[in-house]
Structure 1
Amino acid sequence: MKRNPVVAGMFYPADYHELLEMIEYCYLSPRGPKELPSKRGNYTKPLGIVSPHAGYIYSGPVAAHGYKKISENVSGEVTAIILGPNHTGLGSGISTMKGIWKTPFGDMEIDNEFADKLWKECDVLDLDENSHLREHSIEVQLPFLKHLEELNIAKFKFVPICMMMQDYETSMDVGYFIAKVAKEMNRKIIIIASTDFSHYEPQESASKKDALVIKDILELNDEEIFTDVVTHNISMCGYGPVIAMVKAMKDLGATNSNLLYYSTSGDVTKDYSEVVGYASILVK
């Protein structure tokens, strides 16, 4: 299947040149890493990032911090596992798909072999295109990856995993099998957990709640991530993808994590009465 973009022209520009300008702005903006990605190193081990998925004008500079780290730690052919929450309610509980996704920068190929092996080994995962048809959480990550290809930093295929079910056991299962298949196939992988943090709360309470979950992620404590989200009623849309990424990364040998940047929509709109939180976090 060839999937067309559904939020190009809304969350990010649909035109090649406008998108290039926007992504470069994300890297160079005061909230971004303030420099463009450049090839600095070779792939030595898997890398995990937490990356936001709002409109680029709001969360793009935060996301750029994670992609800058990716650019410094990849080379050759790399499979990006991208986990995102299901906002649309379409399709099955947890799903991947095979084929190609179009972006304004050109087509992104799914690693069909990896996706095929993953859904066959992982009982909770289905092969289901419907979940992905209108979902933006995975799509918004692709132009950043494709941009790194444009800069000849690495060549990416990806595996989309859309999660409507985000309970602890299911999320841990998904993470376990991502790591298992990566090891069995000897793939060079990065894992991107696509999530925003608190939604539509005053800045003060949003940043306090987000700090709790960020602390759990930095401690690689997958169980506490779930417990804190539930206990403190944190409106983080992709906690399941984050738990799955943390589990997979720990199984692949990750031992540390660091917060690259945290910001809210209020830092853009200057309206702090109802904000959405965004964080870029590295796990390696």
Structure 2
Amino acid sequence: MVSGEFARAARRITPAVYTLRMRPRCPESVLTALIRQEETAMSLSRSPAVAGLFYPGDPRVLKRTVDELLAEASPEGEPPKALIVPHAGYIYSGPIAATAYATLIRVRATVHRVVLLGPAHRVALRGLAASSADRFETPLGPVQLDRAAIDLALTLPQVRLMDAAHVQEHSLEVQLPFLQEVLERFSLAPFVVGDAGPEEVAEVLDLLWGGPETLIVISSDLSHYHTYATARALDTATSAAIEALRPQDIGYEQACGRIPVNGLLAVARRRGMQARTLDLRNSGDTAGSRDQVVGYGAYVFH
């Protein structure tokens, strides 16, 4: 259960705010100036962009919220090599994300590196954007970036440094408190995915795949703004495609993070992996209206 004080405030915000419209759009000149200012500061660290909106900004409340969500999840099966998790506000998708993250508890001392990919929501870009920061901050403390892994990925032509893509991006940020609570110590290789082909994403994943010390996390919500019944049908079909490792069956209308998702599916198929759905719900099941919902799924890959 999400902590009471955060839940009361969060219920006043619709799932749409939690997915795409997290801030009013600024005039281009103002937005550019703000991004440049934050990019300068990012030479050392990236500050949280959605603390207090997508998840609690108070560290004590945040820790309690994440711990409660993880405690209510039931870890199933062997620890995964890769996850697909949602990225809405915790009041909406937190329980679904926790279902996936709880599977890591038994390997919390084994995983030392997390390769995290999520779709771009605020900045248009070609390929994948890496960060020049040394760490990403959250209310729970800093997460150190794996500069060696990032530099290795930067040898690929589809990967480039672009801090502007990271400054306001929530799809990566909302995963960090879960990772901080469930893993003992880890470094992070985060990438914002823009206009790229699944094979371009797959090439990055293959390069950084590693062994048991490396976890792959793909951040993606499912269908957006359909009625409850329509969303259930669409998301069920998407889950079937994920379990069948069929990237050709997943389009943009089915998952905002379809490009990184499909990149993972391509790698998983070549490596003979199996995918399993742990949880499949939408905002109408958790905290929102059923008139227009956003779908969320939790998936593990072995």
- Shorter chain as denominator, the TM-score bin is 0.7 to 0.9
Q: Within 5 A, what are the aligned runs for 1:1-284?
A: 1=43, 2-29=45-72, 33=73, 47-89=81-123, 93-98=127-132, 99-120=134-155, 122-149=156-183, 154-166=184-196, 170-183=197-210, 188-225=213-250, 229=251, 234-251=253-270, 253-269=271-287, 271-284=289-302
TM-score, length basis structure 1 = 0.83
Amino acid at match of 1:173: E
Gaps of 5+ in 1: none
Amino acid at match of 1:8: A
8 Å Cα contact 2:81/2:212 also seen in 1:
no
Give the drift of 1:70.
Answer: 2.0
Partners of 1:8 and 1:270 in 2: how far apart? 20
Partners of 2:278 and 2:108 in 1: how far apart? 18
8 Å Cα contact 2:74/2:102 also seen in 1:
no
Give the paired residue count: 258
Partners of 1:92 and 1:255 in 2: how far apart? 29
Give the drift of 1:5.
Answer: 0.3
Partners of 1:181 and 1:269 in 2: how far apart? 37
Partners of 1:256 and 1:91 in 2: how far apart? 31
8 Å Cα contact 2:85/2:218 also seen in 1:
yes
Partners of 1:158 and 1:246 in 2: how far apart? 21
Partners of 1:244 and 1:113 in 2: how far apart? 22
Q: Deviations over 1:30-71 (max 9, x none)?
A: xxx158x9xx98x8xx71111000000110010001101122
Amino acid at match of 1:180: L
Partners of 1:243 and 1:73 in 2: how far apart? 26
Partners of 2:193 and 2:282 in 1: how far apart? 24
TM-score, length basis structure 2 = 0.79
Give the drift of 1:263.
Answer: 0.9
Gaps of 5+ in 2: 1-42
Secondary structure of the residue aligned to 1:236 is coil
Give me the CA root mean square deviation: 2.3
Secondary structure of the residue aligned to 1:193 is strand
Give the drift of 1:19.
Answer: 0.2
Partners of 1:63 and 1:74 in 2: how far apart? 17
Deviating more after overlay: 189-198 vs 241-250: 241-250
Secondary structure of the residue aligned to 1:137 is helix
Q: Deviations over 1:244-268 (max 9, x none)?
A: 22233445x3521110001110112
Partners of 2:128 and 2:281 in 1: how far apart? 29
Partners of 1:76 and 1:210 in 2: how far apart? 32
Partners of 2:195 and 2:245 in 1: how far apart? 21
Change (3 A) 1:114 1:248: farther
Partners of 1:74 and 1:171 in 2: how far apart? 29
Partners of 1:179 and 1:58 in 2: how far apart? 32
Structure 1 residue ranges, 4+ long, deviating more than 3 angstroms after superposition: 90-93, 248-251
Change (3 A) 1:248 1:156: farther
